[in-house]
Amino acid sequence: MSVTKSEVLIIGGGVMGSAIAYHVARQGRQVLVVERSEEVASAPAASWASAGGVRRQGRHPAEAKLAVEAIERWRTLEEELEAGVQYRRGGNLLLAETDAEAEQLVTFVREQQDLGFTDVRLVDRLEVTALVPGLHAGVVAGSYSPGDGQADPALTTRAFATAAQHLGATYWKGTAVLALLIEGERVIGARTGRGEIQAEQVVLAAGAWSDELAGTVGLRLPIKMVALQMVLSTPAPRQMLQPVLSAVSRALSLKQVNDGSFLIGGGWPGDPTADRRSYMLREESVKGNWEAACELLPLVGQQRIARAWCGLEAQSIDGLPFIGPIMGLDGLTVAFGFSGHGFALAPAVGRAVSEQLIGRAVPELDGLRAGRIESFQQDAVEEFLG
Ligand SMILES: Cc1cc2nc3c(=O)[nH]c(=O)nc-3n(C[C@H](O)[C@H](O)[C@H](O)COP(=O)(O)OP(=O)(O)OC[C@H]3O[C@@H](n4cnc5c(N)ncnc54)[C@H](O)[C@@H]3O)c2cc1C
């Protein structure tokens, strides 16, 4: 069987694999991306399904530095990648519907500013209704992050992939990686449906399927596959809703996309199928998600549900991604476990991983180190994996 050689091999061409590929190619390094689907960002990958929210507010402190960096990059990403990704900086608004929740937001806003999200501020009902006319009468206050926004996840993933290829990266689409190849304590490449690949460095960015490949070298990951749901409405008149909305006491994210449709998410579950390659919708999740959106912004109820879908995402045990080298497996770097909130970070993750691969210190990844995989109690991991 043929053997292909590459300096860097990236497994998975989602928004993470492709952002990393772009940055590695920009360093002038040779990079090969292997993607199982015929096209990057295809169903049911997370980068196909994603809500495309580009937000800092509400991030864990461990992600704060990457989030600040990413937001800066998003401002000019379309020019940089020479592609439209429907990026819009309409802000992010987290709503309180009781006085007690408004009190919580006072502390929340202080925490956001301490994390370096300096534009985040408390807004009262008057300002909230000026930002979003038509909100239900119970909304009393909000935390407003004007620098946040939204973009199209599939367009963004394809833009990174195309830009990477313009810089010399090679994509093998429609090709599955079957196993990692190991020699002693070093990962030296991968076996694929198209033959063996030998690489100096291997990056595992296979999203919710990363555990299958890690298992081929005896690594048990504290991540599990979850199916997260999105609901899309029929198109309303455009530009009725500028910020992305969420609410303290609701599982909800609500935004309006370019054609006027409302895109509704917030972590409502579906179910991965037994073969881990597809999903099943839950009727009660579709209904619950839709009703939450209609209650918060009644004009959503003037529309109908056009479509609902799920994306398969890697949920990590502590809700944070694992990024970086794995101890005891030289040559392997990972980037997975983004737990439903990785999309916004992709430009910064791509930059950070590419620098780590050439031996630079990247302190902004400290709280997300893959080394913490070892730190979880075995019992806790078993219980999490169910
Ligand atoms: C419904 C939903 C809504 C979300 N909303 C937001 C949001 O608003 N904001 C935000 O910041 N984040 C959001 N996220 C999270 C974000 O979309 C993900 O964290 C991000 O897309 C993960 O990208 P990825 O490249 O790691 O994974 P994926 O996009 O899943 O890519 C992994 C790729 O690896 C490929 N692959 C897997 N196994 C193999 C193999 N053996 N061989 C070759 N290729 C393989 C897959 O085909 C896939 O293309 C959301 C996620 C979902 C599911």
Q: Domain of 137: which CATH number? A: 3.30.9.10
**103 is a domain residue:** yes
**pLDDT at residue 225 above 70?**
yes
Atom of ligand 1 nearest to the CA of 34: 43
**62 is a domain residue:** no
Atom of ligand 1 nearest to the CA of 206: 34
Q: Which residue, 344, 361, 343, is CA-closest to 352?
A: 361
Q: Are residues 116 and 100 in the same domain?
A: yes
Q: What percent of the chain lies above the pLDDT cut of 70? A: 100
List C-alpha distances in Å: 342 to 15, 70, 223.
9, 11, 14
pLDDT given at position 1: 64
Q: Are residues 334 and 189 in the same domain?
A: yes
Q: Are residues 330 and 262 in the same domain?
A: no
Q: Are residues 133 and 112 in the same domain?
A: yes
Q: Which residue, 308, 228, 221, 220, is CA-closest to 262?
A: 308
Q: Are residues 374 and 233 in the same domain?
A: no
Strand partners, 264: 231, 254
**68 is a domain residue:** no
Atom of ligand 1 nearest to the CA of 312: 53
pLDDT given at position 2: 82
Q: Are residues 158 and 144 in the same domain?
A: no
**83 is a domain residue:** no
User: What's the rounded mean pLDDT across residues 215-224?
Assistant: 96
**71 is a domain residue:** no
Residue from 343, 349, 368 to probe ligand 1 pocket by mutation (most atoms less than 8 Å from CB) = 343
Q: What is the extent of the structural domain holding 126? A: 88-148+226-313
Domain boundary among 277, 297, 313: 313
Q: Domain of 46: which CATH number? A: 3.50.50.60
pLDDT given at position 127: 97
Q: How many domains does the chain have?
A: 2
Q: Which residue, 292, 245, 244, 247, is CA-closest to 268?
A: 292
List C-alpha distances in Å: 234 to 44, 253, 260, 365.
22, 17, 8, 40
Ligand 1 centroid from CA 237, angstroms: 30
At 95, the amino acid letter reads L
**364 is a domain residue:** yes
Q: Are residues 302 and 158 in the same domain?
A: no
Q: Is the CB of 341 under 6 A from ligand 1?
A: yes
Ligand 1 centroid from CA 207, angstroms: 5
Q: What percent of the chain lies above the pLDDT cut of 90? A: 99
**75 is a domain residue:** no
Ligand 1 centroid from CA 14, angstroms: 6
Ligand 1 centroid from CA 206, angstroms: 8
**pLDDT at residue 366 above 80?**
yes
Burial class of residue 3 in the structure, from the number of CB atoms within 10 Å of its CB (0-12 exposed, 13-18 middle, 19+ buried): exposed
User: What's the rounded mean pLDDT across residues 125-135?
Assistant: 97
List C-alpha distances in Å: 239 to 51, 73, 300, 361.
17, 24, 13, 43
Cα four-point dihedral sign 51, 52, 58, 60? positive
Atom of ligand 1 nearest to the CA of 335: 26
